[in-house]
Structures are given as C-alpha cells and as structure tokens.
Amino acid sequence: MDKQLQQIRKDFPILNQKVNDEPLVYLDNAATSQKPNQVIDEIVRYYQNDNANTRRGVHTLGERATEEFEAARQKVQQFINAKESREIIFTKGATDSLNLVASTYGEDNIEAGDEIVISVMEHHSNLIPWQQLANRKKAVLKYIGLTADGQLDMIDAKKQITDKTRIVSIAHASNVLGVTNDIKQLAKITHAHNAIMVADGAQAVPHMPVDVQDLDVDFYAFSGHKMLAPMGIGVLYGKADLLKSMPPYQYGGEMIDFVEKYQSTWTDIPWKFEAGTQNVSGAVGLGKAIDYLSSIGMENVENYEKELVSYVLPKLLEIDGLTVYGPQDADHHSGVISFNLKGLHPHDVATALDMDGVAIRAGHHCAQPLMKYLDLVATARASFYIYNNKQDADGLIQAICDTKEFFKV
C-alpha cells in the first residue's frame, strides 16, 4: 500500500499547500473528503462536452447526459450491492435521504403510540427527522444507550425494540465515537418485530465494504462529499417494494406520469422521488469517485485506515491530560478519533492545531444529545482517510504536544 499511497496523495492537489507556513495535514475527513484529480477532471469533462438536462430532450447532448446519469446510478447499485438500480435514488445527501424516508414512509406508517427507535449517538440528520415525526404523530421516540466504552448497547437495543416499534434508524458508523455498529444484527432484531430498519451510512460507505442485501436494511442513506465526490449529491437506497408503496417526496417535473387540471399520477421508481432538474454533474462525479475507490478496493481502504489508527491511537493515549472518547483499542476504533485536552476548550485546541497546519474539527459535531450523554460541551475530532499517512499522524501528535506546551496544560 505504501507505493500506492504515494500515488494516491499525488491525485489530491489540495494537499500540496501550506497553511500558516506549515504543510497542510488535513484531518477533517468526517466532515468532508478532498477530491482527486480524476473526479475534478470528470466534472469538467461533463460540463465541457455533455451538459444538458436529463430525460427531457431527444437531442444528442440530452441523451448523453441521461446515459451518464443512469450509468452513475448503476455504479452506486453495484458499489453497495443493491438488487436493482431502481432502488437507488439520488438526493442532496444523507440528510436529504433520511428526511425523505421520514416524510414519506414515516408519515404514512406512524400513528399515535407507535415507537421509533434511534440511538443516543446519532447525528442530528438521523435524529431530528424522527423526533419531529414522533412529535407530529404523537409517537414515542426511544433511544438505545451505550456501553461504558461508547459502543452501542445491543442488550439495551433488544429492550428498546418491541412489537410497538415501527422504525429503527441507526448510524452504521459514528461520526464522534469511532465505532461501527452491527447493522445486520439490528436488522434481524428489527424485522423480528415487523418493523423496518434504516441505516445512516454517511460515515461507513466511504471507509468499508457495504452490502445492503447482506445487511438486509430496508433503507440506507449516504453522502457523496464524504467519499471523494462533490458536495450536493447523495443516495437513498430502498427496497423496491417499499419505495413503490411510498408517496412522492417532492412534486414537479419529471416525477409525473400524467398531469390533469385537478389530479396527477406518478411515474415509476426511482424517478418518482427525483422531481425537477437533477444534480447530473454531481452524479457523474460520484460515479467517478466510486471508480476511484473501487480501483483501490474497499477492503484495502478499511485495512489501511485500521493500520493508521493502530499507529496513532496508542500515541494519543500516551499524552498526559488527553482523553479519547469511544473504544480505547484500535481493533474497535475507526478513523474518527474524538478527544479533549484537560484545561483547554476544543475550539482553542483546533485553533492552535491550525497554526501548525493541522486541520481538525471541534464542536458538538451535530450530536448534541450525545455530548449531553457524555457530560461534555464539545470535543476535538481528527478523522483519517486514504490519502493520510503516518507523517500526518505524527503531525497531529506533534501539534497537540506543541499546544500543551504553549498553554502549559
């Protein structure tokens, strides 16, 4: 992987710069990933050669754009092993995808007294849509707790999921705690109670192989911008029978069959959920990002990130006054590492690290209930990806030590 890593880093021009006169160490990948030349060039090529609206014109450019848009859909299908391409809906991102499920399936299938089960570690995008649905419908929103080391408590999951449960929605991987949840087992528990399983895959699909048929999820959401693709493009996978039974999410052009003055009918899935002009260049860019990741191999991506975590996590744990949240062993920890330095606010830590050219995130990470559960205001968070190396890890460690020395903590 070392020789391949050298080539991978060359594909990301944004990494070749200095920040505050220091070489950039980009460790905010859980927020958004950088884009390789191959994706950037593909988007430019599309706009220079094939730009047109899809499914509307019979002219050549329109046909090319439509073919590329649908080819991207097929790449997504193959990448996550969906049964058929019509189970892939293009959205703005994971947030949009989860809102789509809550606003369509949820609106039609949740009644007063029904239960919706999520976990305390959820990102706001997989919390607020269910919270607001429960409020509207007078349903019961329930939370699965965590074990002492920050993993999802599967014993509690079996208690929270009951015959009254209609929807379970859980992050496949946490954006704060660095844990990967057993979605396949959760789906088994959920289906045993005749409920549906939704997974937020925003932090999983970029970092590990995902097979939605093997997981047996009913819906799976993720974003392109966390997996080398442009911002503003995302995916909702849904089982075909469920998608066919759901009402449209939005109304307008291209999602219709017939429109009369006082009544309309809808076209087939997936286009029923893709009203209006679509983000064709985003889909094309996502397709090229999938090509790039597939050329590396998602097993290799996962193994390489584990290698990096095995290198950096013990070094972080050795720093006096530094607390790492989530599992303390590399075997159970993803490339997302949240921590705090005793005596310093996380924002001060992130600002100090930026002065050394190290880009991390600080705040509540759109997970305020989790922060309250952990009795924290915020954390600092470093997150690694395929173009990071051990030198980046060393840069993080050195910047933290410099910060400790500067603030004398």
Residues assigned a catalytic role: 366
Question: Which position has the token pair 């954390």?
Answer: 379
Burial group, residue 234, by CB count within 10 angstroms (0-12, 13-18, 19+)? buried
Answer whether 144's CB lies under 8 Å from 115's CB.
no
Answer whether 238's CB lies under 8 Å from 107's CB.
no
Q: Per the structure block, which two tokens stand in for 394?
A: 């060393």
Answer whether 73's CB lies under 8 Å from 90's CB.
yes
Q: What is the 3-state secondary structure (H, E, C) of 210-279?
A: CCHHHHCCCEEEEECCCCCCCCCCEEEEECHHHHHHCCCCCCCCCCEEEECCCCEEECCCCHHHCCCCCC
The residue type at 344: L
Q: Per the structure block, which two tokens stand in for 258?
A: 């017939």
Taking Cα atoms as reference points, which of 319, 335, 325 lies closest to residue 399? 319
Residues with Cβ within 8 Å of residue 92, at least 6 apart in sequence? 232, 233, 234, 279
| DSSP β-ladder status, 140-144 and 165-171 | unpaired
> φ and ψ at 325, to 5 degrees?
-100, 145
Helix axes 280-296, 37-49, angle to 10 degrees: 150
Q: Per the structure block, which two tokens stand in for 157?
A: 């999951």
Helix axes 37-49, 60-80, angle to 10 degrees: 150
Burial group, residue 227, by CB count within 10 angstroms (0-12, 13-18, 19+)? buried
